[in-house]
Structure 1
Amino acid sequence: MMKILVVDDDPNILELVNIHLSQAGYTVMKALNGFEALKLVEEDFPDLAVVDVMMPGMDGFTLTKKLRTEADIPVLLLTAKGELEDKEKGFLAGSDDYVVKPFEPKELLFRIHAILRRYDKAVDLFIQAGPMNINRQSYEVSVGKKVLLLPLKEFELLSVLASKPNYVFTREILIERVWGYDYEGDEQTLNVHIKRLRDKLEKLTAEVIISTVRGVGYKLEVSSS
């Protein structure tokens, strides 16, 4: 699962970003300043960092430069200013993109996803959920010697659900992750794909099922035989 380091001296912004990233299926590492962030990086390596520019002690530009030069971690800057000078300083420090406060959570998620794709980190190539293996290179789903080939959208949907077994993904997040942020269709498309996946998984294994969490979304449950 992708790990995102979020660094902001405002606890409210920190928690807001944490909630939206967690709902999107990311694992979140939180730090209130640059020094905390660097200590966290020594203990666990994130796939991307979301860094506030205006922080006491060590500003976002300095932290970005350290994260890029010392650990080569992609960085998205959060800034309260939209001035050209700040953008220039951010890019010169090594940031990959920036979002201006106040921001829409969807825009933040879209930009994070875009950076991860650029670094080929947006998805794990191999996912395992119980006895089920998903190979994102060959687009095969297998249990033992049984192999299942799925249409692309069904495969992407199963991959998202399997990336975090027993985690409840909201309907909105599933639609955004599989069909994109600009999808204009209705939720019936998701319902149809879930039904088809359930039918196919039933024939593949009894240990992996897709459960409905009423009023919220879906989760992939793994049980031992």
Structure 2
Amino acid sequence: MLTALVVDDSPGARRRVATLLKLGGWEVHQAVGIEAALRTAEEVDPDLVVTDIVMRGGNGAALLHRLRNEGCRARSVVVATHVTREVREYAAAAGALACLAKPIDPREFLDVMHAVTGRGVPQGTAQAVRPVEPAPLRVDAERLDQAKERYVSQLPLRLSAITAGAQQGDSAAVVTAARALAGASSEVGQAEVAWICTTIAAEANRGVLAHARLMQLVALSASAHGGRRSLTGQAATSR
């Protein structure tokens, strides 16, 4: 029997997904929040993780990054109240194979489960189809360290590109630069930086260039860079 972990702050949302999975023959575990999900995943070693994108103590993308960093091989699906292009890109960058709108549509969910794992629910009974085994996760610590070094070295220039675009009122430039930094941040596990960059890109796409958001980005990026003063100075110079 395959094991699934459903993570959502909403009891109703968790029950809905859990019920559909149980109909498909899954053993289902539920968790509220990132820390509880990490503890449960360590105990049960799930084959599938279905997580909300926004929840207490962080977000679903951050959870998926942490699970991968800890060696979890589970396939993952993200659910969100508002599935925008930015949310889909953010989920994909975190390794999610699908991003579904809440409340979950049973038929769509089962179609996705069949596509992701080879398992569905024909005529209300468990399907005897061998699931697709997830590819082994290869963790190359040396390459990850090198990627993090490149990320830190390029961070001031990436921030400068975002703030320069904001100063010039160039929404398209802000969108491009923010999305680029969001992708780079996701790759090295900087989920919070990726999240605020995705938010900035979404707002810029609507013509909103908020200075407060940029300062929030600088503050979040400081921990990754190891020097708040240099990042703040870089942003101020470009503003």
Q: TM-score, structure 2 length as denominator? A: 0.49
Residue 177 of structure 1 pairs with residue 127 of structure 2: yes
SS in 2 for 1:95: coil
| More deviation, 18-27/42-51 | 18-27
Contact 2:3–2:44 (CA<8 Å) still a contact in 1?
Answer: no
Q: Is the 8 A contact 2:13 2:103 kept in 1?
A: no
User: Which residue of the partner structure matches residue 55 of structure 1?
Assistant: 55
Q: What is the aligned partner in structure 1 of residue 25 from structure 2? A: 25
1:80 Cα shift?
Answer: 1.0
Which residue does the alignment assign to 2:89?
88
Superposed, which structure 2 residues align to 1:43-82 within 5 Å? 43-70=43-70, 71-82=72-83
Give, as a single letter, the amino acid of the residue that structure 1 aligns with 2:73. D
Q: Which amino acid aligns with 1:20?
A: L
* CA drift at 1:171: 7.4
CA contact (8 A) 2:83 2:99 kept: no
Distance in 2 (CA, whole Å) between partners of 1:171 and 1:111 is 14
Counterpart secondary structure, 2:14: helix
Q: Would the alpha carbon gap of residues 68 and 93 (structure 1) be closer, same or farther in structure 2, given more than 3 Å must change?
A: same
**Per-residue deviation, 1:42:** 1.2
Distance in 1 (alpha carbons) for counterparts of 2:103 and 2:12? 12
**Structure (1/2) with the larger strand percentage:** 1
- Note the 1:161-200 alignment, pairs <5 A: 172-174=123-125, 177=127
Structure 2 residue runs without a partner (length 5+): 130-239
Change (3 A) 1:20 1:91: same
Deviation at 1:61, TM superposition (A): 1.1
1:93 counterpart letter in structure 2 = A
SS in 2 for 1:85: helix
Which amino acid in the other structure matches residue 85 of structure 2?
Answer: L
* Counterparts of 2:5 and 2:27, CA distance in 1: 9
Q: RMSD of aligned C-alpha atoms?
A: 2.3
**Paired letter, 1:56:** R
1:3 paired residue number: 3
SS in 1 for 2:127: helix
CA contact (8 A) 2:49 2:77 kept: yes
Structure 1: gaps (5+ residues)? 123-159, 161-169, 180-225
Counterpart for residue 42 of structure 2: 42
- In structure 2, the residue matched to 1:15 is 15
User: What CA distance in whole angstroms lies between the structure 1 residues aligned with 2:6 and 2:104?
Assistant: 15
CA–CA separation in structure 2 for the residues paired with 1:116 and 1:178: 12
Give the TM-score of the pair, scaled to structure 1: 0.52
- Measure the CA separation in 1 of the matches of 2:105 and 2:51: 16
In structure 2, the partner of 1:128 is none
Instruction: Percent identity, please.
Output: 30
Checking the alignment, whether the CA contact within 8 Å between 2:5 and 2:28 is kept in structure 1 is yes
| Residues in 1 aligned to 2:58 and 2:110: alpha-carbon distance in whole angstroms | 25
Q: Is the 8 A contact 1:68 1:74 kept in 2?
A: no
Paired residue secondary structure (2:54):
coil
Aligned residues: 128
1:185 corresponding residue in structure 2: none
C-alpha contact 1:78 1:98 (8 A) present in aligned 2: yes
Amino acid in the other structure paired with 2:42: E
Which structure shows the bigger proportion of residues in helix conformation? Answer: 2
Match of 1:189 in 2: none
Contact 2:17 2:104 in 1 (8 A): no
| Corresponding residue number in structure 2 for 1:145 | none
Residue 108 of structure 2 aligns to which amino acid in structure 1?
E
Report the counterpart of residue 111 of structure 1 in structure 2. Answer: 112
